[in-house]
Amino acid sequence: MTATEVSGLTPGAHRERSFLGHPPGLAYIVFTEAWERFSFYGMQALLVLYMTGHLLHAGTVEGVAGFAAFRGVVEGVTGPLSVQALASQIFGLYVGLIYFTPVLGGLVGDRVTGRRAAVIIGAVLMAGGHFLMAFEASFLAALLLLILGSGFLKGNLAAQVGSLYAKTDQRRDAGFQLYCMAINVGAFVAPLVCGTLGELYGWHYGFAAAGVGMLVGIVVYLAGARHLPPEAPRATAEARPGLQAGDGRLIASLLALLGLTSLFWVAQTQVWNTYPMWLRDRVDRGVFDATIPVTWFQSLDSLAVLLLAPGVIWMWRRQSSRQVEPGEMTKIVLGCMAFAVACAGLALGEVTAAGKVALIWPVLFHFICAIAYLYAAPVALALVSRAAPPAVNAMMVGTYYLALFVGGLVSGWLGRFYEQMPAAGFWLMHGAIVGVGGLLILLLRPVFIRLLRLDAPTA
């Protein structure tokens, strides 16, 4: 392998020290993402608990600016909602929009501001949103800033990971694995810090800590500016890469695949929506003389990913050396099926419980979910980055989050059934949803391989 191939950038980049065998810019992107995820998941770990335990109750909700009109619009579509159902619906709308706006933000980064400027704009907006969460009156304004900021940041930061590598560079999947591991580092630490502060000392302390994390992320990103991939020319329309023949069909195929992966995210998003309430109300969280905070289970979810990721990557490398590694499409199918098994485990815990559900069931759930995540999420993101046309690559990486947008909206709508259904049936329903997604991708795998121009042995 040449020095240029090691760097993944320009011929002169061979003089820079690599990061775990990857281009040095990956380190700054990874640590920026870790801090951004710390802020995001710190706030998200508290959001439903904050709404159901404090904000949406009479005597408090009246002080939220604009909330009466907002609630009128929501319930005009859904009908009257209980506090729990309204909290689930708000969470679903918030998460859905968080993952929709990267499509527009990616287009702005590709065509207007450049990816670096878009990331900075997004980070500043998100920091402002986190700090506004410390005040009840600005709750809706805070969510709006977080949604807009995420739109600028997500697609453009992830797209820079792909830009570090040549199209044929086999390190691309591993690079995205490191990127997704950074997500889980931030997601692991955030509930321990922000969640503990919010649950035990005051909601607003937790939200403020999330804002500090976002500021640290901005500093890390700016510090690594010289190592980031160069911006594409934007001075004239002629300087921009244009769509080529067949790119429209390629984009449509990617959208269809992402539509199916959204069924995975319908189930996964409930880990941050109704699942904390299930933990709070149905699980025996006592250990010796202490009670485990609900938000710590979100940390366990991410810790399981961090513990299992090295083993999964090692196994893939071993399989690759023997030419038996599953392809991208097959990995996504396996991820969906694993999550279906995890949901069935929660249902089994409910059925076998004499009173409250034993602690072992949510613990097993998170470790099985970790395997599901590793096989589905980073692999799908790497596939989109590799297959998307150069002219709209950042936009299409942002489009990856459309699956999470759909998943968030549907999970919010399904959350209303949590109070109406037996808990075992509620979790079995989600297992069936993600399992159907895996089966459909398996059945359509040959079609996607052809339309996405993938090599069949590695697809």
Domain borders along the chain are 21-230+239-458
Residue 143 is predicted with a pLDDT of 95
Tell me the three state secondary structure of residue 18: coil
Please, what is the average pLDDT of the chain?
87
pLDDT at 435 over 60: yes
Would you place residue 105 in the very low, low, confident or very high pLDDT band (cuts 50, 70, 90)?
confident
Residue 16 is predicted with a pLDDT of 53
Residue with tokens 């989109």: 384
Is the CB of residue 176 less than 8 Å from the CB of residue 156? no
Is the CB of residue 368 less than 8 Å from the CB of residue 312? no
Task: Report the share of the chain in percent with pLDDT over 70.
Answer: 92
Q: What angle do CA 218, 224, 228 make, to 5 degrees?
A: 110
Strand ranges (E), 67-222: none
Residue 232 is predicted with a pLDDT of 65
To the nearest 10°, the Cα dihedral for 436, 328, 451, 105?
90
Distance CA 249, CA 229 (A): 28
Residue 329, CA atoms < 13 Å, CB-side half-sphere: 25
- How many C-beta neighbours within 10 Å does residue 256 have? 14
Nearest to 92 by CA among 408, 342, 362, 369: 408
- How confident is the model over 97-118, as a mean pLDDT? 85
- How confident is the model over 29-36, as a mean pLDDT? 88
pLDDT at 116 over 70: yes
Write out pLDDT tens, residues 342-376: 999 999 999 999 899 999 999 999 999 999 999 99
Give the rounded distance of the alpha carbon of 40 from its chain centre: 10
21-230+239-458 has which CATH code?
1.20.1250.20
Residue 390 is predicted with a pLDDT of 81
What predicted TM-score, i.e. pTM, was given to this entire model? Answer: 0.81
Distance CA 53, CA 289 (A): 24
Nearest to 127 by CA among 25, 224, 43: 43
Is the CB of residue 448 less than 8 Å from the CB of residue 253? yes
Is the CB of residue 249 less than 8 Å from the CB of residue 419? no
pLDDT at 237 over 70: no
Write out pLDDT tens, residues 119-171: 999 999 999 999 999 899 999 999 999 999 988 988 788 778 878 887 777 67
- How confident is the model over 307-323, as a mean pLDDT? 90
Would you place residue 456 in the very low, low, confident or very high pLDDT band (cuts 50, 70, 90)?
very low
pLDDT at 458 over 60: no
